[in-house]
Amino acid sequence: MQDNINSIVKTKDGSNTLFSQKYNQHYHNPDDGAINETLSKHIIPTFQYHKAKDELIILDICFGIGYNTFTTLYYVKKANLNKKITIYSPELDANLISSLETFNFPKEFEDIKHIIKEVAMNKKYEDENIKIEVNIGDAREYIKTLEQQSFDIIYQDAFSSDVNTELWTKEYFDDIFKLCNKDCVMSTYSVATPIRLSMNEAGFFIYEYRPEKRKITLATKEKKDILGKFINMDLKRERNKQAKAIYD
Ligand SMILES: C[S@@+](CC[C@H](N)C(=O)[O-])C[C@H]1O[C@@H](n2cnc3c(N)ncnc32)[C@H](O)[C@@H]1O
């Protein structure tokens, strides 16, 4: 797909992503690869953590080209995981979702072409093991309508905080925190201190994890030291008085 807002970019693992003129940013880091990025930064760490659970409810912030959602389905199938997956995902750009019907996705998505088509056309898909719901609208409004304490995983994958501020503030994470069940884990590519402070002020415990060359942040509602290196945010605040969370 190529329009006046987004242009196609091939990433290092061969999968295509987009460059957004509106946000002046790539949807995925071309040097990491779109599939590789979603697997290493979001899916593998959170699924490892929840390996004992046979039903997972996921919030994918935000849908974009759908790599986080579609790669989750690919991963579950490829690893032969016997899990029921429900994914809720907000997205502002209705045209982007419709355009996914003809987007040139990688060969890994060959077996889920019918799911991609249905999501592009109807913004939802359901069979006995998979449920996907894409909500066209503002994520800040949408998350207020979801059931509290029901989510196992949050993929926090908005554009960066300088251009997509509303999805990185303390008040935003307050609402996300309410959606988390007690063993929920949130994954994000961002390791910036202001973002970790926003999450921490909303109640999350912060962990640093290095799946590959780049570090990521994992955050939990309850303290779980199996996840990676615990980051003591009180100590960070004490040592760096300039560091501030982001607010609405
Ligand atoms: C970095 S991209 C997400 C990439 C996506 N996870 C993927 O794998 O393709 C960010 C997306 O968030 C959407 N977005 C930005 N602000 C939003 C908001 N307030 N509410 C809903 N969607 C938003 C943008 O339109 C864009 O598609």
**Residue 13, domain member (yes or no):** no
Residue 75 per-residue DSSP state:
H
CA of 239 to the centre of ligand 1 (A): 34
Q: Looking at ligand 1, which atom is closest to the CA of residue 64?
A: 27
Q: Is the pLDDT of residue 119 over 60?
A: yes
CA of 61 to the centre of ligand 1 (A): 7
**Residue 26, domain member (yes or no):** no
End-to-end CA distance of the chain: 34
pLDDT band at residue 3 using 50, 70 and 90 as cut-offs: low
Over residues 39-72, the pLDDT tens digits come to 999 999 999 999 999 999 999 999 999 999 999 9
**Residue 21, domain member (yes or no):** no
Q: Percent of the chain scored above 90 by pLDDT?
A: 85
- Span 69-93, mean pLDDT? 97
pLDDT value at residue 1? 44
Q: Is the pLDDT of residue 4 over 70?
A: no
* Ligand 1 pocket residue status of 70, Cβ below 6 Å: no
pLDDT value at residue 200? 98
pLDDT band at residue 29 using 50, 70 and 90 as cut-offs: confident
In single-letter form, the type of residue at position 56 comes to L
CA of 77 to the centre of ligand 1 (A): 25
- 8-28 burial, b if ≥16 CB within 10 A, otherwise e? eeebebebbbbbbeebebbbb
**Residue 23, domain member (yes or no):** no
In single-letter form, the type of residue at position 25 comes to Q
Q: Is the pLDDT of residue 2 over 50?
A: no
**Residue 111, domain member (yes or no):** yes
Backbone region of residue 34 per phi and psi (left: phi > 0; alpha: psi in -120 to 50; beta: other values): alpha
Q: What CATH number should be reported for the domain holding residue 76?
A: 3.40.50.150
Cα 209 from Cα 215, distance rounded (Å)? 6
* Ligand 1 pocket residue status of 125, Cβ below 6 Å: no
What's the mean per-residue pLDDT of the chain? 94
Cα 98 from Cα 198, distance rounded (Å)? 33
Over residues 142-200, the pLDDT tens digits come to 999 999 999 999 999 999 999 999 999 999 999 999 999 999 999 999 999 999 999 99
CA of 157 to the centre of ligand 1 (A): 7
The residue whose CA has the least distance to atom 3 of ligand 1 is: 64
**Residue 228, domain member (yes or no):** yes
Domain count for the chain: 1
What are the backbone dihedrals phi and psi of residue 71, each rounded to the nearest 5 degrees, phi first?
Answer: -70, -30
Over residues 94-107, the pLDDT tens digits come to 999 999 999 999 99
Domain that holds residue 71: 33-239
Which H or E run includes 188?
strand 180-188
**pTM for the complete prediction?**
0.96
